[in-house]
């Protein structure tokens, strides 16, 4: 038998429970790779905006000032403090040179972002201005909306209002411009309606298209194609088809409370199937950050934060993500980006020209000699290329003591050995192997009183564990039936049997209580499901 045996394998348990947490998907690992840094402030962060040009600085609106941060170091570089009331929103021009911001006094101000100098003051709204936005392909105009239910279209150079749209019946809270047409934009209001406007149509109350979200609209964004929009309000994010006449495509309702902000983010992978895919990112008052794949219509990642979230933004270079909370905390997350070898050499050369004290050492590889230890280790770290034929060395199987005993067909010794090891998974695995060999009951009948005491102690401890109970409960009955005379003759074994009996009775009482609770809850769940 030993000569014909070619392979031996260690005994492993077959009774495995499913893990509580599901295995992470590649996309979930990608979003989890962002390392979060907390930046505390005193007031809620109502708005976060990224510059569209490198190095993609971001601006956070906090109380009566705008805080400007470096997206590489996540450190604050400067502030703009010339506001008399709380800043509600900010927006960059498509070249990143101008920054527009609005506050609750109804004033809109335009700044030179590089010099932090105010250029224009736009005053026409009579109530707080909650939304201001530069069209994506237009450097001359500006869109704004506020609590006066008005949407205004501005000429920034002349600091004058060109047109006013009067279609909304409640506070205008959000908006976005089309990525393919600078003349169209959307606005969302607390009247539950999202309106698509065209500045070429001069009828102030006539919108090109209306979408009823069903709840007060907190945010709205265009998707990159320009033919779809996403709206956020209540606990849902909805997708609408503009080209199809305003058809509702999908409603994502994974948040438990109001969704406060959404944006579109791109998967920042350099290659692969996901390199050019976009996702809808959303945050809500339930403290959750969620990633929604609108290609497959499912949530691909979810993350919980310890405070209600009110604002969100994602950098154009896919390297940083910033979330603002209602308690004033900024959760800035940065992802490590791989640097090319050429860039490393450039950075190294630039750094060495400033900090180098001694000349660089020669980069030529040393010729290995037989006296070097590395001579005998050469080639072990090399990775094979596509044309190489790889010969794998078979891995040696390490067998435990009970596996070696099983290979020698010493079944009783294997059972005693694994019982002394006190590893329940290994014990059950050996028992399953003995069952398959039809030797378990024979081993139990051959155990002396001392070893039988070990077996009864194991059964008392693990017979009610769900993943082992199906095997151990049946074995316990057989042990008591086969060794009844020995148990009656020993006080120690009687004690183990009493303990085993009390454990089983306690488990039965627990199961009965759970069934009573289930009988109470199940009718309530059926009633709730009908509603």
Instruction: Kindly state whether residues 304 and 425 are assigned to the same domain.
Output: no
CA–chain centroid gap for 200, Å, is 42
Q: Please name which of 406, 294, 530, 341 lies closest in space to residue 10, comparing C-alpha atoms.
A: 406
Instruction: Kindly state whether residues 438 and 515 are assigned to the same domain.
Output: yes
| Number of structural domains the chain divides into | 2
Final residue of a structural domain among 320, 335, 350 = 335
Instruction: Kindly state whether residues 176 and 324 are assigned to the same domain.
Output: yes
Q: What pLDDT does residue 207 have? A: 87
DSSP classification of residue 25: P
For the chain, give the number of residues: 531
Does residue 273 form part of some domain? yes
* 3-state SS class at 522: helix
Dig out the tokens for 249 from the structure: 């495509």
Dig out the tokens for 254 from the structure: 């994974």
Instruction: Kindly state whether residues 180 and 284 are assigned to the same domain.
Output: yes
Instruction: Kindly state whether residues 313 and 451 are assigned to the same domain.
Output: no
The answer to whether the CB of 431 falls within 8 A of the CB of 469 is no
Q: Where do the DSSP E strands lie in 305-449?
A: 309-314, 320-325, 329-334
Helix or strand (DSSP H, E) at 421: helix 411-421
Instruction: Kindly state whether residues 454 and 320 are assigned to the same domain.
Output: no
The CATH number that applies at residue 99 is: 2.130.10.10
Distance CA 248, CA 251 (A): 8
- Residues paired with residue 236 on neighbouring β-strands, in sequence order: 233
Instruction: Kindly state whether residues 291 and 153 are assigned to the same domain.
Output: yes
Distance CA 60, CA 39 (A): 11
Dig out the tokens for 387 from the structure: 């044309």
Instruction: Kindly state whether residues 260 and 158 are assigned to the same domain.
Output: yes
The answer to whether the CB of 187 falls within 8 A of the CB of 131 is yes
Does residue 305 form part of some domain? yes
Does residue 377 form part of some domain? no
Does residue 414 form part of some domain? yes
Q: What pLDDT does residue 384 have? A: 76
Q: What pLDDT does residue 19 have? A: 59
Does residue 225 form part of some domain? yes
DSSP classification of residue 229: E
The answer to whether the CB of 124 falls within 8 A of the CB of 132 is no
Q: Show pLDDT as tens, one digit a residue, over the chain (531 residues).
A: 444 455 666 777 666 555 555 677 888 888 888 999 999 988 889 999 999 998 899 999 998 999 999 988 899 999 998 899 999 999 999 999 999 999 999 999 999 998 889 999 999 899 999 999 999 888 899 999 999 999 999 999 999 999 999 889 999 999 999 999 888 999 999 999 999 999 888 777 788 899 999 999 999 999 998 899 999 999 999 999 998 888 999 999 989 999 999 999 988 655 455 556 899 999 999 999 999 998 888 999 999 999 999 999 999 988 899 999 999 999 999 987 655 545 445 444 444 443 444 444 455 566 777 788 777 777 777 777 777 777 777 777 788 888 889 889 999 999 989 988 878 889 999 999 999 999 898 998 888 888 888 899 999 888 888 888 888 888 989 888 888 888 888 888 889 889 988 988 998 999 899 999 988 888 888 887 665
Does residue 7 form part of some domain? no
The answer to whether the CB of 97 falls within 8 A of the CB of 113 is yes
Cis peptide before 55 (omega within 30 of 0): yes
Instruction: Kindly state whether residues 277 and 417 are assigned to the same domain.
Output: no
pTM (2 decimals)?
A: 0.62
Instruction: Kindly state whether residues 331 and 413 are assigned to the same domain.
Output: no
Does residue 187 form part of some domain? yes
Instruction: Kindly state whether residues 330 and 413 are assigned to the same domain.
Output: no
Distances (CA, A) of 513 to 197, 366, 447, 473: 61, 75, 38, 21
Long-range contacts (CB closer than 8 Å, 24 or more residues apart) made by 347-356 = none
Distance CA 482, CA 166 (A): 89
Q: What pLDDT does residue 398 have? A: 84
Does residue 115 form part of some domain? yes
Final residue of a structural domain among 317, 335, 353 = 335
Q: What pLDDT does residue 1 have? A: 44
Final residue of a structural domain among 335, 357, 381 = 335
Instruction: Kindly state whether residues 322 and 409 are assigned to the same domain.
Output: no
Q: What pLDDT does residue 531 have? A: 57
Long-range contacts (CB closer than 8 Å, 24 or more residues apart) made by 207-212 = 207/165, 207/167, 208/184, 209/242, 209/245, 209/246, 210/246, 211/240, 211/246, 211/248
CA–chain centroid gap for 430, Å, is 40
Give the domain extent around 494: 401-529
For the chain, how long is the longest CA-to-CA vector? 106
């Amino acid at each position: 038998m030993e000569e014909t045996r070619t392979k031996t394998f260690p005994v492993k348990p077959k009774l495995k429970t499913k893990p509580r947490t599901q295995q992470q998907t590649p996309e979930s690992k990608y979003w989890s790779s962002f390392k979060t840094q907390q930046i505390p402030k005193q007031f809620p962060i109502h708005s976060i905006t990224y510059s569209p040009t490198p190095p993609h600085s971001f601006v956070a609106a906090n109380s009566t000032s705008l805080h400007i941060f470096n997206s590489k170091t996540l450190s604050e570089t400067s502030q703009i403090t010339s506001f008399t009331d709380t800043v509600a929103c900010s927006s960059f021009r498509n070249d990143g040179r101008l920054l527009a911001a609005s506050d609750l006094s109804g004033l809109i101000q335009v700044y030179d972002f590089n010099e932090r100098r105010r250029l224009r003051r736009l005053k026409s709204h009579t109530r707080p201005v909650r939304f201001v936005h530069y069209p994506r392909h237009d450097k001359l105009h500006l869109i704004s909306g506020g609590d006066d239910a008005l949407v205004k279209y501005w000429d920034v150079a002349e600091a004058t209002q060109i047109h006013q749209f009067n279609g909304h019946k409640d506070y205008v809270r959000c908006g976005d411009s089309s990525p393919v047409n600078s003349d169209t934009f959307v606005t969302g209001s607390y009247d539950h309606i999202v309106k698509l406007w065209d500045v070429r149509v001069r009828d102030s109350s006539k919108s090109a298209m209306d979408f009823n979200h069903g709840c007060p609209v907190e945010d709205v964004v265009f998707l990159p194609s320009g033919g779809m929009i996403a709206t956020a309000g209540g606990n849902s994010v909805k997708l609408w088809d503009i080209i199809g006449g305003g058809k509702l495509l999908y409603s994502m309702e994974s948040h438990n409370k109001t969704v406060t902000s959404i944006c579109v983010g791109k998967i920042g992978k350099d290659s692969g199937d996901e390199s050019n895919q976009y996702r809808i990112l959303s945050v809500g008052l339930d403290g959750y950050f969620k990633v929604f794949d609108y290609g497959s219509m499912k949530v691909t990642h979810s993350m919980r934060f310890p405070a209600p979230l009110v604002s969100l933004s994602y950098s154009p270079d896919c390297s940083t993500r910033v979330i603002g909370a209602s308690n004033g905390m900024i959760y800035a997350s940065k992802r490590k980006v791989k640097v090319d070898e050429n860039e490393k050499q450039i950075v190294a050369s630039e750094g060495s020209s400033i900090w180098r004290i001694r000349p660089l050492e020669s980069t030529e590889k040393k010729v290995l000699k037989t006296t070097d230890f590395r001579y005998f280790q050469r080639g072990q770290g090399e990775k094979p290329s596509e044309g190489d034929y790889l010969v794998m060395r078979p891995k040696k199987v390490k067998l435990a003591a009970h596996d070696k005993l099983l290979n020698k067909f010493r079944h009783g010794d294997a059972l005693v050995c694994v019982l002394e090891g006190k590893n329940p998974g290994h014990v059950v695995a050996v028992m399953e192997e003995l069952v398959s060999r039809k030797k378990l009951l024979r081993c139990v009948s051959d155990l002396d009183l001392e070893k039988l005491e070990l077996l009864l102690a194991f059964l008392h401890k693990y017979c009610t564990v769900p993943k082992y109970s199906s095997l151990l409960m049946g074995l316990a009955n057989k042990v008591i039936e086969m060794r009844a005379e020995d148990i009656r003759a020993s006080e120690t074994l009687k004690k183990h049997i009493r303990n085993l009996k009390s454990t089983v009775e306690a488990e039965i009482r627990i199961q009965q209580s759970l069934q009573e609770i289930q009988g109470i809850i199940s009718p309530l769940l059926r009633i709730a499901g009908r509603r």
